[in-house]
Amino acid sequence: MEKLTIKDIARLADVSTATVSNYLNGNYSRMSEKTRKRLSDMIRETNYVPSSVARGLATNNNKTIGVSVADITNPFTSTVLSGIYDACGKLGYTVVFTNASSDSQIEIDNVNKLKHQEVSGLIIDPVDAENAIFKTLNNDSTVMIDRQAAAVRIDSIVTDNFNAVSQFIGDMKKSGYADEDLYFISWPLQNVSTRMERYRGFKSATGITDDSHLILVDDVGDNEYFVSQIKQIMNKKRNGKVGFFTMNGRVLLHLLKAMQKLGYRYPDDVGIGSYEDLDWMEIIQPGISCIHQDSFNLGVNAVNTLVHKLQDEKTKHFVPQLIEVPTMIKKRGSY
Amino acid sequence: MEKLTIKDIARLADVSTATVSNYLNGNYSRMSEKTRKRLSDMIRETNYVPSSVARGLATNNNKTIGVSVADITNPFTSTVLSGIYDACGKLGYTVVFTNASSDSQIEIDNVNKLKHQEVSGLIIDPVDAENAIFKTLNNDSTVMIDRQAAAVRIDSIVTDNFNAVSQFIGDMKKSGYADEDLYFISWPLQNVSTRMERYRGFKSATGITDDSHLILVDDVGDNEYFVSQIKQIMNKKRNGKVGFFTMNGRVLLHLLKAMQKLGYRYPDDVGIGSYEDLDWMEIIQPGISCIHQDSFNLGVNAVNTLVHKLQDEKTKHFVPQLIEVPTMIKKRGSY
DNA sequence: CTGTTAGCGCATTCAG
DNA sequence: CTGAATGCGCTAACAG
């Protein structure tokens, strides 16, 4: 079970290490048909696999890409990571994984580690897209996903938040909801692009310009204030039916909890829609109408555009692009 | 923005690379107080970070641990990974990530890759704990989690499936459910240890020895047969109320879907319990009584026992152990 | 076509 | 206490 080195198989095949190296790298033109066959056999017999770290040292390119995710616990994120791994595998890249647990400080540490880890490229799903650490990154070897900075200086692949919500709300309106009865529920916007874009889509579709229809929740605590706000809205007793749109699945959970506490039921007493499509949204009754995003492909997309940049030696200094991937509206019974 | 090497800072500090190396590795006794301080300053000023790949080559220990998970998309798994990353960070280890997408063949590829990646150790969350590939692994540098092989040859950290279910079912019985009215719903057991152990717990608590109370579902398709089975059971009209225990959250989803389709409601028409505690189980009404496992700590635990083995140079040839971590029962309103 | 020879960045003797 | 030399496994000129 000893580790074989390039020397061993060179000796066994009675050639130089250089020839072996050439074989390993597909430079078959630099050897006779005969030795090529001999090496092929030798390597298969001995089950030899070249050391990637030695190769990394020599070439200064270890074919690994570093990934920093905001929160691996988020179902969206884990699906993205799944896509990243899949695409990396197909391209022969290894992925070293890093998780910020939604903490900007940890995110800084992670990016620093990754930078010094001598990875070939970086994929970043940022906690805070405006984090100063990202200014130290080079667009030639990194791509960002999901959340974007106000000034895009790194290629960013994001879902089409604005249009998706705008269209979804448009559908609700067609179903009879009036602008003034529609509300957008979200975690504090905090300059997070996904939240802001979705909210922007809401405002655009409803024509509401102030923030009177923006309701905030926290993901911790009892959220009594939130419940009271919902109650107040429901009590207003307008002609039309109230419609709530939640910024993501967890926010929806809070809304459902509140509705339950207040004794309201959808879609009879109120209409509901949400960003994000989680498995339980299809099961609970009635199903939640929502916006589905193809997170797996977002991950695949990210590594493809990254590796493309990595391998295009000449064309350096790419100009940062914002790539928006489409979403899909799932109409179920919640409004 | 050039890359600094050990040579550079050796030159800058006017010492040899060996001294720098000693400093880097904490061998302060091998240099004067003076040069130590100088190096300390130099390194801080230049922001120098030693190359981990070069170090890996030289020491044959790159302080990275390879992780193979069965399915990163599973909320249980992503939480475990979160714990793994956290613990690795604290110990200065890098994690290279691998995902089998529930495919045994991919799992083989992943483990092979990892083995040749020259990682210091391996953590494996297996798709198939009996996969022959695992026989090529050494217990001195790997630990398995979640699922265990029939014959444990690698340290395995698993949740206490048997006792948890046994106790949970015991609680249901105390609430008035009769043995013959209790059913265990699961994906096909397929020799998967977690499923088998949970089922064993069910059988132990109910005293049912045959498989007449084992109901299987698939995670794909309409599961019409499953629905018809549920219907049949509900139609039996015994004195007591029927109680279903589902093997995990997704199976529960199928059960809820079926109940919905058939027009039954819990806890009035039927009692429900489940393994796994997902966020929506607390929200839907009534909440689902379930068995909660501390997946994050399972990951942490795995890293700690692995690194312990890796660093204990002398005591090799550890005897494989099965470590069971406790669970917690969450009583809500579903039965 | 094939072999020799330097490094890649660092750690580790072994002398001084 | 310090430094020169050697090697980790592999690649990349450069010679032959």
What is the CATH code of the structural domain delimited by B6-58? 1.10.260.40
Q: Could you tell me the pLDDT band of residue A89, with boundaries at 50, 70 and 90?
A: very high
Tens digit of each residue's pLDDT (9 = 90 or more) over A232-248: 999 987 778 999 999 99
Q: Which residue of B has its CA nearest to A56?
A: B53
Alpha-helical (H) ranges within A28-139 are 33-46, 52-59, 75-90, 104-116
Percentage of chain A surpassing pLDDT 70? 98
CB contact under 8 A, B99 and A82: yes
Q: What are phi and psi of A54, to 5 degrees?
A: -65, -45
- Provide the β-strand partners of residue B124: B68, B144
pTM: 0.93
Which residue is closest, via its CA, to the C1' of C11? B58
Alpha-helical (H) ranges within A131-248 are 161-174, 193-206, 224-235
Output the pLDDT for position A192. 95
Where, residue-wise, is CATH 1.10.260.40 in chain A?
Answer: 6-58
CB contact under 8 A, B62 and A56: no
Lowest mean pLDDT among A173-182, A199-208, A314-323, B129-138: A314-323
Strands A182-186 and A243-246: parallel
pLDDT at A306 over 90: yes
What is the CATH code of the structural domain delimited by A62-158+296-325? 3.40.50.2300
Chain A positions touching chain B (beta carbons under 8 Å): 49, 51-54, 56-57, 62, 64, 67, 72-73, 75, 77-79, 81-82, 85-86, 89, 94-99, 101, 109, 113, 116-118, 250, 253, 256-257, 260, 278-280, 283-285
Q: Which residues in chain B are contacts of A94 at CB distance < 8 A?
A: 96, 113, 117
Higher-pLDDT residue of A57 and A134 is A134
Output the pLDDT for position B193. 96
Distance of alpha carbon A257 from alpha carbon B282, whole angstroms: 9
Q: Which of B320, B293, B335, B68 is nearest to B198 (CA)?
A: B293
Q: What is the overall mean pLDDT for chain A? A: 92
Q: How far is the CA of A23 from the C1' of D14 (A)?
A: 19
Q: Which nucleotides of D are covered by protein (CB under 7 A)?
A: 1-5, 7-13
Over range A312-330, report the average pLDDT: 86
What is the pLDDT tens value at each position of chain B, 335 positions in all? 467 888 888 888 888 888 999 998 888 888 888 888 888 988 898 888 888 888 888 888 889 999 999 999 999 999 999 999 999 999 999 999 999 999 999 999 999 999 888 899 999 999 999 999 999 999 999 999 999 999 999 999 999 999 999 999 999 999 999 999 999 999 999 999 999 999 999 999 999 999 999 999 988 777 889 999 999 999 987 778 999 999 999 999 999 989 988 999 999 999 999 999 999 998 887 899 999 999 999 999 999 999 999 987 666 678 999 999 999 999 999 99
Q: For domain B161-293, which CATH number applies: 3.40.462.40, 3.40.50.2300, 2.60.120.10, 3.30.1330.10?
A: 3.40.50.2300
Tokens of A331: 């109409």
Output the pLDDT for position B313. 65
CB contact under 8 A, A85 and B99: yes
CB contact under 8 A, A116 and B52: yes
Chain B interface disruption, residue of A48, A280, A294, most B CBs within 10 A: A280
CB-strand contact A55/D, under 7 Å: yes
CB contact under 8 A, B78 and A82: no
CB contact under 8 A, A78 and B77: yes
Q: Tell me which residue in B82, B113, B257 faces A283 most closely, judged by beta carbons.
A: B257
Q: Which residue of A has its CA nearest to B48?
A: A116
- Provide the β-strand partners of residue A159: A325
Q: How far is the CA of A58 from the C1' of C3 (A)?
A: 19
CB-strand contact A310/C, under 7 Å: no
Output the pLDDT for position A260. 85
Alpha-helical (H) ranges within chain B are 6-13, 17-24, 33-46, 52-59, 75-90, 104-116, 161-174, 193-206, 224-235, 249-262, 279-283, 295-311
Q: Which amino acid is at B148?
A: Q
Q: Which residue of B has its CA nearest to A82?
A: B72
Output the pLDDT for position B2. 61
Residues A247-265 as b or e (16 or more Cβ within 10 Å = b): bbbbbbbbbbbbbeeeeee
CB-strand contact B58/C, under 7 Å: yes
Output the pLDDT for position B257. 87
Q: Could you tell me the pLDDT band of residue A330, with boundaries at 50, 70 and 90?
A: very high
Judging by beta carbons within 10 Å of its beta carbon (0-12, 13-18, 19+), is residue A237 exposed, middle or buried? exposed
Distance from CA of A250 to the nearest CA of B (A): 8
Q: Which nucleotides of C are covered by protein (CB under 7 A)?
A: 1-5, 7-13
CB-strand contact B50/C, under 7 Å: yes
Q: What are phi and psi of B231, to 5 degrees?
A: -60, -45
Over range A71-80, report the average pLDDT: 97
Chain A interface disruption, residue of B84, B85, B96, most A CBs within 10 A: B85
Distance from CA of B209 to the nearest CA of A (A): 33
Output the pLDDT for position A315. 63
Integer Rg of chain A from CA: 26
Contact predicate A123/A303, CB 8 Å? yes
Q: How far is the CA of B170 from the C1' of C10 (A)?
A: 61
Where, residue-wise, is CATH 3.40.50.2300 in chain A?
Answer: 62-158+296-325, 161-293
CB-strand contact B322/C, under 7 Å: no
Q: Which of A236, A238, A327 is nearest to A274 (CA)?
A: A327
Distance of alpha carbon A318 from alpha carbon A327, whole angstroms: 27
